[in-house]
Amino acid sequence: MKNKKTIDRRSFIEHSAKITAAGFMLSSLPANSKKLFSIEGEIKIAVVGCGGRGTGAVSQALEADPDVRLVAMADAFKDRADDCLQSLNEKYPNSDKINITQETIFTGFDAYKNAIDMADVVILTTPPAFRPMHFEYAINQNKHVFMEKPVATDVAGIRKIIKVGKEAKRKKLNVVVGLQRHYQKNYKSVKSLIDRGKIGKIISGQVYWNSGGVWVRPREKGQTELEYQMRNWYYFNWLCGDHIVEQHIHNIDVANWFIGSTPLSAQGMGGREVRNGKDHGQIFDHHFVEFTYPEGQVIASQCRHQKGCMNRVEEVFQGSRGSITLNSGHYGVIKNKRNKIVYNHDGEKDINPYQQEHNELFAAIKSGEYRMNDTSRGAEATMTAILGRMATYSGKVITWNEAMEMDHNLVPELHSFNDTAPVLPNSKGEYPVPIPGITNYR
């Protein structure tokens, strides 16, 4: 009896209005969107990739609209899906928002298909290597999509994302990419002031993601090589793209956004000085890149995973009439050429941008309108970061056009953990690491 809900007159009227609104939307939605709503107005979501980011994204989707329900989960690893479900059940105890049974938890390399088939909206939060394949299937199945950044780890993946993004546009399917600064108030406010000429033309800039690094998951007894790499995915280029792609993409994306284009070329340097053990796979622990843009702007890009060093995650730009400094902590300051503050963003009451991107996505879906498709900017930001990685790995100047024409495919077709991993350690357990001046671009 404790779960029995008493429905008073107000609740009855509100419930009736909701059903009426749902019926109206059913009649007004495009043909390929009508199945999105049950009579009760339910929006069914599935998550593909049940790690920490997937768990967070599901929570934000559930908060975005009262009619959102989680109906399916998929991951290569059963324990990851179970941990995700436990976390969600703890956050939403006895909630009808979590409509999951053991039969709707799918595991394995093809699990994504089962989960996507059950849903109206798909959350794609696996390691980025698999994003192009999962995105393609979701759009082919007429699903709206939230997908995390980056959207690929290689040029072949970028090409697929661009192609599928055009199909999403044709089908009028809403797509949000998790470059959440586009949904953050201080960034949007400053961008509007740039467009109004507040600092004149951007001439140069510096973008940073310098920190102590991320987790390491040690090898466990009985793991195949492929399973080990997927568990420790951050340290393998085919899975992660290196931290310049997986993490620093946020800051690089802001440079593209504020300048209004992608770079013509990149040159830089990088290496492994501190995080260089066997458990650090292949990736560099520092990158420095100069991106040159079509109108001559040069953006200096820094990212570092080294403890005990300067931590800095923000963007700085110099214009002909002033300068800008921003960061994800809702900070945004514009100064004129005399170094006087002419705009200072007070972000104390700003909405969490991770939540805001879901709010806008589900508002669009529930309205039955096609409002957003972040695919192009997600692909451009990811490709810019890949271009930077190519420059640091090779030590050479790499142009955008030549990179886009490369035969660059890092991700094989995989069916089980017994498949051969794309990269293998030598007899000492060491993985191949890029060597500037010798490595071409991979």
Mean pLDDT of the residues in the chain: 92
- For 35-94, the pLDDT digits (tens) are 444 436 899 999 999 999 999 999 999 999 999 999 999 999 999 999 999 999 999 999
Q: What is the mean pLDDT of residues 380-388?
A: 98
Residue 347: what pLDDT?
Answer: 86
Answer whether residue 339 shows pLDDT above 50: yes
Domain ranges of the chain: 9-181+368-374, 185-350+377-404
Answer whether residue 353 shows pLDDT above 80: yes
- For 167-197, the pLDDT digits (tens) are 999 999 999 999 999 999 999 999 999 999 9
**Distance separating alpha carbons of residues 278 and 404, to the nearest angstrom:** 32
Lowest-confidence region among 17-26, 34-43, 94-103, 392-401: 17-26
Of 355, 365, 75, the C-alpha closest to 231 is 75
- For 411-427, the pLDDT digits (tens) are 999 999 999 999 999 99
CATH homologous superfamily of domain 9-181+368-374? NAD(P)-binding Rossmann-like Domain (3.40.50.720)
Residue 2: what pLDDT?
Answer: 39
Strands 331-336 and 341-344: antiparallel
Q: What percent of the chain has pLDDT over 90?
A: 89
Q: pLDDT grade, residue 442 (50/70/90)?
A: confident
Q: What is the mean pLDDT of residues 318-330?
A: 97
Sign of the torsion formed by the C-alpha atoms of 53, 59, 63 and 69 = positive
- For 297-313, the pLDDT digits (tens) are 999 999 999 999 999 99
Residue 37 phi, psi (nearest 5): -120, 130
Residue 40: what pLDDT?
Answer: 62
Q: pLDDT grade, residue 349 (50/70/90)?
A: confident
Fold classification of 185-350+377-404 (topology level): Dihydrodipicolinate Reductase; domain 2 (3.30.360)
Helix, strand or coil for residue 306?
coil
Of 200, 317, 214, 301, the C-alpha closest to 251 is 301
Q: Residue 186, Cα to own-chain centre: how many angstroms?
A: 20
Residue 32: what pLDDT?
Answer: 40
**Distance separating alpha carbons of residues 345 and 331, to the nearest angstrom:** 6
In what order do the strands lie in the sheet containing 43-48?
105-107, 68-75, 43-48, 121-124, 144-147, 175-177
Of 63, 96, 43, the C-alpha closest to 357 is 63
- For 226-270, the pLDDT digits (tens) are 999 999 999 999 999 999 999 999 999 999 999 999 999 999 999
More confident residue, 3 or 255: 255
Q: pLDDT grade, residue 23 (50/70/90)?
A: very low
- For 105-137, the pLDDT digits (tens) are 999 999 999 999 999 999 999 999 999 999 999
Answer whether residue 30 shows pLDDT above 70: no
**Distance separating alpha carbons of residues 440 and 442, to the nearest angstrom:** 6
